[in-house]
Structure 1
């Protein structure tokens, strides 16, 4: 186990021990002041909790410890980044995300470091087979970080958007990207361009081109704010393909 991970584990154990000890004596003091209770769920470690004093306070204290440890580990990750130790970074990132699963910044940055930075770094490898294997590994590692973040934060438009970008740019999964952009667009705080992004990707999916075209035309009809150069170019390309197909059919009949 890397030295940083060992230190992190010891630090976490120490914090948990401190807070557990604090909780024990706090519960004892609260129990001495409280009136007898017949409710079993009000008892903790053999002592009854005074109303307003209980698990919420301990949860808050433990959350503070987890946040502090996560921030400390994140600083260590930047040290590893300077050394380009990608695998060790990934291990620490997993710990940070476990400590703070609802901080989307951690999942988002972990995905970026793996899918973009680490995958680009291995392109210098002269062994083509090994290079392709490692590149794919880091891209999938980045994808896993985003999907883990989404599972804990299903209301995050940003994480869905960045999953769409990864599927589009790194894996060329146009259908998966379209679905991710659609999910991102449906959530609060979504960027206005996400509907266009989803439609663009559908036009790249065999059998879904017409659906993509229809969605682009619907966006076009919404007004000038939607008529971006990419949207206009996509519409033109699709119309040219359709006209070319019609001409080919006519020539075949002749």
Structure 2
């Protein structure tokens, strides 16, 4: 066999071995990406943003380091209230470090809270424009969190952050229908519970959202009863919702019997139910509260003109900074 033929045979053998290895190596690479043992490939637009360091960064070793420095740059833009630069920088950061929860959480927070508040109260911007920019920023923060969840579907903290945003009474107007927003918030909180390592608060927050969705009172009552049974310390809002949802289920039952079965005493019931009654802007249901308050006031001989039911609606008071031990 001539020397040329030997080289041809050798070349063909090498090509054949490469062709045989290619499916195996591709499958192995795909599995490593799926297991997050290899960082995802950088997009071209990300390479354009980080410039000459793209080749080194694309190998993976410098990606988290570059993301750290960009996070410092984003803080500088935040301090200068350059919201478009903050947004663009965090888009690059999460391309570099898509598995880091902090960047998704912080990027969303800057849009949905910091930028939104800035636009809402910036007097140099026309009033209508302020409202539109506020809504746009809140929705950008929501979309950013949702991207983070798609990249980290098993992270309970990101699901929880989405639930908090969707159920925030100060942001609810940005989402259209409050009921739909509360329903989505409930789904987000329950996803956080399902992924594990969630706090007691997460399940309670799911209850707070679901209770505000008309037509789902039965499911909310079931959840309220679970929380009341499982958790040793119960916040006042849980007790109030347990009352109103139980009353909704059986509106013909004696009100005071229900009060006595849920609350440790009538004074506590009066304070908790009265507080929920006044928190009208939070969209909580109030089934049976007027009847209960009236009967408790009669029990304590509170004059009609001093009735809690005649007090003008005031800003909500957060009573959940203390718990009632069962």
CA RMSD of aligned residues (A): 2.7
Name whichever of 236-245 and 89-98 sits farther off.
Answer: 236-245
Q: Distance in 2 between matches of 1:141 and 1:107?
A: 12
Aligned pairs for 1:29-108 within 5 A: 39-40=17-18, 62-108=59-105
The unaligned stretches of length 5 or more in structure 1 are: 1-35, 44-55, 248-254
* Residue 230 (str. 1) matches residue 243 (str. 2): no
The unaligned stretches of length 5 or more in structure 2 are: 1-13, 23-37, 39-54, 173-177, 255-326
Q: Distance in 1 between matches of 2:74 and 2:158?
A: 21
- Contact kept, 8 Å, 2:110 with 2:141, in 1: the verdict is yes
Correspondence for 1:192: 200
Correspondence for 1:137: 136
- Contact kept, 8 Å, 2:218 with 2:249, in 1: the verdict is no
Cα distance, 1:245–1:92 mapped onto 2, change above 3 Å: farther
Aligned pairs for 1:76-225 within 5 A: 76-126=73-123, 127-169=126-168, 170-171=171-172, 172=178, 173-225=181-233
- Deviation of 1:228 after TM superposition, in Å, equals 2.1
Correspondence for 1:29: none
Q: Distance in 2 between matches of 1:149 and 1:97?
A: 8
- Deviation of 1:236 after TM superposition, in Å, equals 2.4
- Deviation of 1:240 after TM superposition, in Å, equals 4.9
Q: Distance in 2 between matches of 1:67 and 1:128?
A: 41
What TM-score results when the alignment is normalised by the length of structure 2? 0.56
- Contact kept, 8 Å, 2:182 with 2:210, in 1: the verdict is yes
Greater percentage in helix: 1
Deviations 1:119-145 (A, max 9, x none): 111121342211111111111111111
What TM-score results when the alignment is normalised by the length of structure 1? 0.70
Cα distance, 1:60–1:190 mapped onto 2, change above 3 Å: farther
- Contact kept, 8 Å, 2:159 with 2:191, in 1: the verdict is yes
- Deviation of 1:59 after TM superposition, in Å, equals 9.9
- Contact kept, 8 Å, 2:189 with 2:203, in 1: the verdict is yes
SS at structure 2 position matched to 1:63: coil
Q: Which has the larger radius of gyration?
A: 2
Cα distance, 1:61–1:92 mapped onto 2, change above 3 Å: closer
Cα distance, 1:95–1:218 mapped onto 2, change above 3 Å: same
SS at structure 2 position matched to 1:64: coil
Between the two proteins, the alignment pairs up a number of residues equal to 199
Cα distance, 1:87–1:213 mapped onto 2, change above 3 Å: same
Correspondence for 2:48: none
Q: Distance in 1 between matches of 2:189 and 2:252?
A: 30
- Deviation of 1:69 after TM superposition, in Å, equals 1.5
SS at structure 2 position matched to 1:102: coil
